[in-house]
Amino acid sequence: MNGPVPVEVLKQHLIDPEICIRCNTCEETCPVDAITHDENNYVVRADTCNGCMACISPCPTGAIDNWRDVLKVDAYAVDDQLTWDELPVQDDALAGQGTIGEAAPGVAGGASADVPEPVIAGSDFVRGSVVPPWSAAKPYVNLYNHKAPVQATVVGNYRLTDASTESDIHHIVLDFGKQPFPVLEGQSIGIIPPGTSSDGRAHHARQYSIASPRDGERPGYNNLALTVKRVTKDHQEQAVGGVCSNYLCDLKKGDVVNVMGPFGSTFLMPNHADSHLLMICTGTGAAPMRAMTEYRRRRRLKGATGKLMLFFGARTQGELPYFGPLLNLPKDFIDTNLAFSRTPGQAKRYVQDAMRERAADVAALLRHDHTYIYVCGLKGMEDGVLQVLQTIAGDAGLDWQALWQRMKTEGRLHLETY
């Protein structure tokens, strides 16, 4: 006689389309390729996700940390999830009964409890830290969302890059007036562009790093700056009009912008005085480095110590945002190294090349337990920078694998590339 077939209830991993800012962090982090996306949503394949939780901590908004108990046979399909504007409600009859999916074949792990296991900060597939520096200030996150954004007023918008160059990068200052909007260096915000896309849906928010220190673009003011590049081409060099970047770059003083956030609780700077910052960036990836540098500059007068070393890459000098102000910073305050890839008549030079040239000084920083590394900018740079760090460490007699692991777990290696 056949017994009753057990009904399996799955704790299905879902992404909240209302909060998600489509930053791609989860898809990049997932070690089993369970996450995919289209132009509408980021979604999780129920038959692939093994509940390893690697994606949970890096997500800047928390949109990733959503679960529904469903009959396994009724698990929400990817095609359905891609059409969602909001998450489905939990069926009360199944609530609390689900277990997280089995590990996919060949993949270690697979949590099976109701309570998700915390991600292991030093796990192999996460290349950077998923914890902040121990001395970082506590950030506020998600104070405003797309349903209840905060309105900021544009108080400044000017082009940073040389008028003769193709790169149109803007410095845009937003003022929050009397509305609370506390931020830390390294955090980001979401901008909700007005209007709808061709399918009639409201545009999604886009994420931008904050370029100002915590006490304001203008010290003591409740404002912050963004560094925004006008998107005119996609990665395949095809002409596209970036919805949000064009909206932002065209803003006039007095315009009002809908803002979400703040986001981010790991890419934060240490607050202890003798901590060193090794900052590596390209293009608009300079924004968080500018915020951290300016905070240190303001604190320096109050006795902050610790070295600042910056590697900054751009196509040409005219396309490097904040070129003038950067060079005006005192040499004994920040060790600035620029790398230009398209200066006529000169060899292509990337930040990695500049780091190699300064290997002895980079190695000295790597040896120091209070060195914090920040990488922000083009995705392609991430591999190159990790490789050159490995070479520099190896040549200096350091065990890079052990050091890398330690830096990750100690919140000392922060990667934000796109």
Q: Tell me the binding residues for NADP(+).
A: 209, 229, 284, 341-342, 348, 377-378, 416
Count residues binding ligand A2P (CB under 6 A): 15
Interaction between residue 12 and ligand A2P (CB under 6 A): no
Per-position x/- string for 361-380, each x denoting binding to ligand A2P as judged by CB under 6 A, each - no binding: -----------------x-x
Q: Binding segment for ligand A2P among 174-182, 234-242, 309-317, 357-365 (CB under 6 A)?
A: 309-317
Shortest gap between Cβ of 209 and ligand A2P (angstroms)?
Answer: 14
Q: Which is nearer to ligand A2P, 225 or 381 (CB)?
A: 381
Per-position x/- string for 167-206, each x denoting binding to ligand A2P as judged by CB under 6 A, each - no binding: x---------------------------------------
Interaction between residue 318 and ligand A2P (CB under 6 A): no
Binding residues: 209, 229, 284, 341-342, 348, 377-378, 416
Shortest gap between Cβ of 382 and ligand A2P (angstroms)?
Answer: 8
Closest by CA position to 331, among listed 348, 307, 350: 307
Helix (H) or strand (E) holding 276: strand 276-282
Interaction between residue 350 and ligand A2P (CB under 6 A): yes
Helix (H) or strand (E) holding 388: helix 379-395
Helix (H) or strand (E) holding 277: strand 276-282
* Out of 384, 398, 410, 418, the residue judged to bind ligand A2P by CB under 6 A: 384
Please identify which residue in the block is written with the tokens 């409890």.
113
Tokens of 91: 């069926």
Q: Which is nearer to ligand A2P, 80 or 166 (CB)?
A: 166
Interaction between residue 315 and ligand A2P (CB under 6 A): yes
In the DSSP assignment, the letter for residue 19 is T
Q: Is 55 exposed, middle or buried (0-12, 13-18, 19+ CB in 10 A)?
A: buried
In the DSSP assignment, the letter for residue 301 is T
Helix (H) or strand (E) holding 263: strand 256-263
Q: Is 203 exposed, middle or buried (0-12, 13-18, 19+ CB in 10 A)?
A: middle
Is there a contact between 136 and 265 (Cβ–Cβ < 8 Å)? no
For residue 30, CA distances in Å to 2, 25, 54, 59 come to: 40, 9, 6, 11
Q: Which is nearer to ligand A2P, 79 or 237 (CB)?
A: 237
Per-position x/- string for 243-282, each x denoting binding to ligand A2P as judged by CB under 6 A, each - no binding: ---------------------------------------x
* Out of 174, 381, 407, 415, the residue judged to bind ligand A2P by CB under 6 A: 381
Is there a contact between 91 and 70 (Cβ–Cβ < 8 Å)? yes
As a whole number of angstroms, the distance between CA 76 and CA 411 comes to 36
Is there a contact between 205 and 146 (Cβ–Cβ < 8 Å)? yes
Shortest gap between Cβ of 385 and ligand A2P (angstroms)?
Answer: 7
Is there a contact between 189 and 260 (Cβ–Cβ < 8 Å)? yes
Q: Which is nearer to ligand A2P, 97 or 232 (CB)?
A: 232
* Out of 88, 342, 369, 387, the residue judged to bind ligand A2P by CB under 6 A: 342
> What residue ranges bind ligand A2P (CB under 6 A)?
167, 282-283, 313-315, 341-342, 350-352, 378, 380-381, 384
